[in-house]
Amino acid sequence: MATEQIAVRLPRELLDQVDDLVARGVYESRAAAVRAGVEALAESDRRRRIDRSVIEGYRRTPAGDAEREAAIASLRDAIAEEPW
């Protein structure tokens, strides 16, 4: 994947937190930490858009009794499979 360099200014407190993550070995560099942050923002936005689409779909076509019963059965099965 091609990359492009950008310049980013951060408040000192935030940069200190990034440097701490690098010092503790959570990320190998400042760039890796910033890249992970941008990736997390993009993923969060992608999930938010999907959630909105699902909600709108249910508003257009609400679930019927059969769908509700199937969802509840699926939840019961998932809970029963938990190792607690």
Query: How far is CA 31 from each of CA 24, 27, 41, rounded to the nearest angstrom?
Result: 15, 9, 15
pLDDT tens by residue, 13-36: 999 999 999 999 999 999 999 999
Question: Tokens 């937190």 appear where?
Answer: 17
% of residues, the chain, pLDDT over 70? 100
CB-CB neighbours of 49 under 10 Å: 10
Residue 5 lies in a domain: no
**Distance between CA 29 and CA 25 in Å, rounded?**
9
In this structure, is residue 1 part of a structural domain?
A: no
In a domain, 3, yes or no: no
The pLDDT-based confidence of 49 (bands split at 50, 70, 90) is very high
Judge whether 4 lies within some domain.
Answer: no
Provide the domain count of the chain: 1
The reply to whether 53 falls in a domain is: yes
11 — phi, psi (to 5°)? -60, 150
Asked if residues 8 and 34 have their Cβ atoms less than 8 Å apart, the reply is: yes
Q: Print the domain residue range for 56.
A: 12-81
Asked whether residue 84 carries a pLDDT value surpassing 90, the answer given is: no
